[in-house]
């Protein structure tokens, strides 16, 4: 049996839990904090609120918001320079996957020096990082839980995967109140991202009972809550989507992802598309491709999507995949690859780059460039 | 492009990789600090050993010349008391303000290493020091500092002076030898012709009045006598000026005194008020020694005695006495009735460079040379003096000095 490992940060979860931020920061030795966030969080008022919480506790705070969706290497370097120049100690990230991944990159450079591309790959971070406290505002990326950090290398047009246990933040504070101010499309994209994390990590050869139970939990919560959350902004549904995101994060951080994320990273490196919007297009096709490798687990997923049914795994799996496609269509997400790309020319490059992505390692069925091309053609 | 090795499944699990925490960092920091502390401690010891190896006096002063630190040579040389925090000039010179010649100021002002020599009186001895001041500037210090090295160059200076003196003597010796040779020939001619005149006098004696013949006899006799005296002086000069006769031979002290006085004869004759009283012990045993050098001692003592009279009343008595002392020593005394030596000067008398004579008249090497020569003969030189009454220099010399060297 494979020896596995399960590591997660301290997770503080619940309505109003954001008020513990200052206390948590102090416990990590904070005096001057780097707060990383973006414009979206500023306009929703959460950045001011977080600064107020820190100020009330007389903690100095330097604010950094030069973060785009799909954070870039130069943004990370700029943030690290600011961190060192201002002699800051603890890093707090507020937002979705982008500010959190940017914060991880900044912490990496602040603690280890060099360029962010020096740390591409697994376990290349050799010195400790500044303490990190992450407050996710989208229920999806799982970056507040995971050992992954995805940064775009602008020159090479590659989304680099940086994997290290040191990238697991010290504390994750999930306050579902933050979700209330999100746009509908953002709720959709991040929820689908979380679901994709759960699916891929559930199928991963590194999955263990500890990650599988989290993945199954995340999938069940997604199916139960996605429509009420997207359609009605139902508060209880949104909160359960937060739980789903955290659970999916625990699963994929330890079990890894698969071909879907390999393709999504490759595509995102060349075209600045919202990560969560790639999944509705590719997830069903990737699941069909993987069906042969593990019909039992895909059957499990199918039964979660369509409800308990007595039939062969394969049938349940396919029925589930069909239902997912319907579900995505109901949510007005892009469904064809042509909705995301200008033409077919970059496809080959995207696929060949995806074969080198670290996520590709944990796909249940090995996939070469041609296989990936087949998947892309299927959903063009 | 893709230089990084592709991760494996095991990399993703990362069993042996954990989140590096602050404790780990702290531990590493402590290890690093321990390492660098050991390293700097070793370096400090090494530098300390190098500094201890320096044989010069070393001190660090602030820009107001307050002593900040000194090395162990400082304590060895200046001994008691804690100099730290004292002003340099008050410690060394008991003065209220910095010494004029201090190189520290120039060094700080012009940011250069500067040198100076100065004499300090330490434990009753005058010592010459070569001082080197180097500026020490560090923006973190409230005041500039200056590093001072003091090297004891008393010996060097002594040897240098001796060397000059020896060279001078050698030159005079060569000159004297040359002159003596030159003088010898005309002297021989004069004396020869005077003898010729005496011989011829017998044949013309009967043709001239007796008184005239008597005058001629008298004059030629005087010429011959004086020529003989000249020849003796020349011989003494030749002997004295002989440059490298530092061999110990049997010396007739009385004879040596006589010859020295003969050299000074002319000099003394001009000082009409000075009477030389010579009391030479008959049957004084001979000693072993370096005659030219001993003559130089006598010459020095006699010249000093004459100068002491000059300073006084320009008249008086110089007594030169020889006598045996016990069974194995002889005594030479040179006494004058001159000005005497102030007691304050008495213990500096044999120090090099000490002089009471006006600039240009002496370099203060005389008595110290005498001292060294006498010491070399394992003898002793001392002085009795009373202001206004005169001084008495006493030289004792062993009959057979035991020479360890050579």
Q: What is the mean pLDDT of residues A166-192?
A: 88
Nearest CA in chain A to B24: A128
pLDDT at B405: 47
pLDDT at B1: 42
Best mutation target, A122, A145, A148, to test chain B (most B CBs within 10 A):
A122
**Cα–Cα distance for residue pair B8/B153, rounded to 1 Å:** 77
Percent of chain A with pLDDT over 90: 67
Q: How far away is chain B from the Cα of A180, in angstroms, using its nearest Cα?
A: 33
CA angle A284–A289–A294, rounded 5-degree value: 105
Nearest CA in chain A to B23: A128
Residue A35 has pLDDT above 90, yes or no: yes
CB contact under 8 A, B2 and A356: yes
Residue A55 has pLDDT above 50, yes or no: yes
Q: What is the mean pLDDT of residues A70-84?
A: 94
**Cα–Cα distance for residue pair B325/B399, rounded to 1 Å:** 10
Contacts of B24 in chain A (CB under 8 A): 128
* Interface residue ranges in chain B relative to chain A, Cβ cutoff 8 Å: 1-2, 4-9, 11-15, 17-22, 24-25
CB contact under 8 A, A125 and B20: yes
Tell me, yes or no, if A27 comes closer than 8 A to chain B by beta carbon. no
pLDDT at B403: 59
Among left, alpha and beta (phi > 0; psi -120 to 50; other), residue B381 is beta
pLDDT at A83: 94
Lowest average pLDDT, out of A131-135, A159-163, A257-261, B357-361, goes to: B357-361
Token look-up 């200046």 returns B78
Buried-exposed string B185-219: b where 16+ CB fall within 10 A, e elsewhere: eebeeebeebeebbeeeeeeeeeeeeeebeebeee
Tokens of B308: 């002491």
Q: Which residue has the higher pLDDT, A286 or B246?
A: A286
Q: How far away is chain B from the Cα of A143, in angstroms, using its nearest Cα?
A: 15
pLDDT at B313: 66
pLDDT at B406: 37
pLDDT in tens, chain B (406 residues): 445 567 888 888 877 777 777 655 677 778 889 999 999 999 999 998 888 888 888 889 888 888 988 888 888 887 767 888 888 888 887 788 887 778 888 888 888 888 888 887 777 777 888 889 998 888 888 888 899 888 888 888 878 877 877 777 667 767 777 777 788 888 888 989 999 988 888 888 888 888 888 888 888 888 888 888 788 777 766 665 554 445 788 999 999 898 888 878 777 777 778 888 999 999 999 999 888 788 888 888 888 888 888 766 667 889 999 999 988 999 999 998 888 888 777 766 776 556 666 654 554 457 777 887 888 888 888 888 888 888 899 999 999 887 554 3
Q: What is the CA radius of gyration of chain B?
A: 37
Classified as helix, coil or strand, A74 is helix
Tell me, yes or no, if A269 comes closer than 8 A to chain B by beta carbon. no
Size of interface A-B (CB pairs under 8 A): 72
Name B75's Cβ contacts closer than 8 Å, sequence gap at least 6: none
Q: What is the mean pLDDT of residues A113-133?
A: 91
CB contact under 8 A, A361 and B8: yes
User: Which ipTM was obtained for this model?
Assistant: 0.71
Tell me, yes or no, if A307 comes closer than 8 A to chain B by beta carbon. no
Q: How far away is chain B from the Cα of A200, in angstroms, using its nearest Cα?
A: 15
**Cα–Cα distance for residue pair A149/A105, rounded to 1 Å:** 7
In DSSP notation, A182-196 reads: S-HHHHHHHHHHHHH
CB contact under 8 A, A128 and B25: yes
Q: Which residue has the higher pLDDT, A93 or B263?
A: A93
Extended beta strands in B30-83, E state: 57-62, 67-70
CB contact under 8 A, A356 and B13: no
Best mutation target, B12, B15, B24, to test chain A (most A CBs within 10 A):
B12
pLDDT tens readout for residues A182-236: 888 888 988 999 999 999 999 999 999 999 999 999 999 999 999 999 988 888 9
Nearest alpha carbon to residue B391 among B302, B294, B258: B302
What is the DSSP code (8-state) at residue A154? T
pLDDT at B354: 64
> Which of A 93-152 lie inside 8 A of B, CB atoms?
120-129, 131, 147
Contacts of A163 in chain B (CB under 8 A): 7, 11-12, 14
Q: What is the mean pLDDT of residues A295-314?
A: 92
**Cα–Cα distance for residue pair A301/A318, rounded to 1 Å:** 10
CB contact under 8 A, B12 and A129: no
Name A134's Cβ contacts closer than 8 Å, sequence gap at least 6: A92, A93, A100, A103, A143, A144, A169, A171, A172, A173
**Which range is most confident: A83-87, A214-218, A360-364, B224-228?**
A214-218
CB contact under 8 A, B17 and A29: no
pLDDT at B245: 47
């Amino acid at each position: 049996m494979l020896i596995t490992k399960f590591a997660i940060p301290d997770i503080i979860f619940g309505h109003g839990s954001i008020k513990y931020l200052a206390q948590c920061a102090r416990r990590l030795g904070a005096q001057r904090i780097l707060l990383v966030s973006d414009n979206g969080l500023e306009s929703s008022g959460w950045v001011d609120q977080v600064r107020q919480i820190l100020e009330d506790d007389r903690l100095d705070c330097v604010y950094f918001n030069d973060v785009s969706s799909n954070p870039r290497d130069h943004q990370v370097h700029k943030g690290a320079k600011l961190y060192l120049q201002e002699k800051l100690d603890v890093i707090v990230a507020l937002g979705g996957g982008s500010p959190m991944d940017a914060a991880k990159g900044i912490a990496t450079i602040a603690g280890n020096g060099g360029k962010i591309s020096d740390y591409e790959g697994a376990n290349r971070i050799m010195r400790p990082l500044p303490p990190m406290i992450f407050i996710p505002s989208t229920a999806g990326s799982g970056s507040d839980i995971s050992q992954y950090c995805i940064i775009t290398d602008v020159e090479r047009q590659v989304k680099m995967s940086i994997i290290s246990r040191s990238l697991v933040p010290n504390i994750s504070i999930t306050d579902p109140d933050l979700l209330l101010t999100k746009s509908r499309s953002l709720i959709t994209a991040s929820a689908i991202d979380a679901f994709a994390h759960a699916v891929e990590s559930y199928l991963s050869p590194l999955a263990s009972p500890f990650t599988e139970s989290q993945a199954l939990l995340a999938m069940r919560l997604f199916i139960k809550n996605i429509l009420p959350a997207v359609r009605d902004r139902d508060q209880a549904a949104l909160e359960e989507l937060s739980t789903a995101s955290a659970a999916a994060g625990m699963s994929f951080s330890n079990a890894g992802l698969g071909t879907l994320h390999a393709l999504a990273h490759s595509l995102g490196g060349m075209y600045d598309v919202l990560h969560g919007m790639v999944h509705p297009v590719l997830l069903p096709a990737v699941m069909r491709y993987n069906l042969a490798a593990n019909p039992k687990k895909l059957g499990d997923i199918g039964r979660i999507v369509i409800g308990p049914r007595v039939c062969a795994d394969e049938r349940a799996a396919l029925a589930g995949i069909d239902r997912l496609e319907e579900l995505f269509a109901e949510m007005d997400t892009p469904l064809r690859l042509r909705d995301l790309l200008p033409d077919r020319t970059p496809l080959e490059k995207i696929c060949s780059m995806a074969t080198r992505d670290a996520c590709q390692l944990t796909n249940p069925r090995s996939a070469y460039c041609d296989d990936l091309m087949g998947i892309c053609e299927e959903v063009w | 492009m893709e230089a990084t090795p592709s991760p494996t499944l095991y990399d993703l699990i990362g069993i042996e990789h954990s989140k590096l925490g602050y404790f780990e960092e702290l531990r590493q920091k402590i290890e690093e600090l321990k390492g660098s502390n050991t390293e700097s401690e070793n370096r400090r010891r090494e530098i300390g050993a190098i500094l201890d190896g320096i044989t010069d006096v070393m001190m660090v002063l602030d820009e107001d010349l307050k002593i900040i630190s000194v090395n162990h040579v400082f304590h060895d040389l200046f001994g008691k008391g804690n100099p730290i925090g004292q002003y340099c000039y008050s410690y060394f010179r008991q003065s209220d303000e910095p010494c004029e010649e201090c190189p520290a100021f120039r060094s700080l002002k012009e940011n250069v290493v500067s040198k100076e020599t100065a004499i300090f009186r330490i434990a009753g001895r005058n010592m010459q020091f070569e001082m080197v001041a180097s500026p020490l500037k560090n923006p973190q210090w409230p005041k500039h500092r200056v590093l001072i090295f003091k090297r004891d160059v008393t010996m060097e200076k002594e040897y240098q002076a001796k060397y000059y003196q020896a060279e001078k003597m050698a030159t005079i010796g060569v000159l004297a030898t040359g002159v003596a040779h030159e003088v010898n020939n005309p002297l021989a001619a004069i004396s020869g012709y005077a003898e010729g005149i005496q011989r011829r006098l017998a044949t013309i004696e009967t043709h001239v009045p007796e008184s005239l013949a008597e005058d001629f006899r008298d004059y030629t006799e005087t010429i011959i006598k004086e020529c003989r005296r000249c020849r003796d002086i020349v011989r003494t000069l030749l002997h004295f000026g002989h440059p490298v006769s530092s061999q110990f031979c049997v010396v007739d002290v009385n004879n040596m005194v006589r010859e020295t006085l003969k050299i000074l004869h002319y000099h003394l004759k001009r000082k009409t008020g000075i009477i030389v009283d010579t009391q030479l012990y008959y049957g004084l045993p001979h000693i072993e020694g370096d005659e030219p050098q001993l003559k130089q001692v006598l010459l020095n003592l006699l010249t000093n005695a004459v100068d002491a009279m000059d300073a006084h009343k320009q008249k008086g008595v110089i007594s030169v006495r020889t006598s045996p002392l016990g069974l194995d020593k002889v005594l030479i005394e040179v006494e004058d009735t001159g000005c005497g030596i102030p007691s304050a000067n008495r213990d500096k008398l044999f120090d090099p460079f000490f002089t009471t004579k006006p600039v240009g008249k002496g370099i203060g090497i005389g008595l110290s040379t005498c001292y060294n020569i006498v010491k070399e003969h394992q003898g002793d030189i001392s002085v009795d003096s009373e202001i206004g009454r005169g001084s008495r220099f006493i030289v004792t010399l062993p009959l057979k000095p035991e020479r360890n060297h050579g």
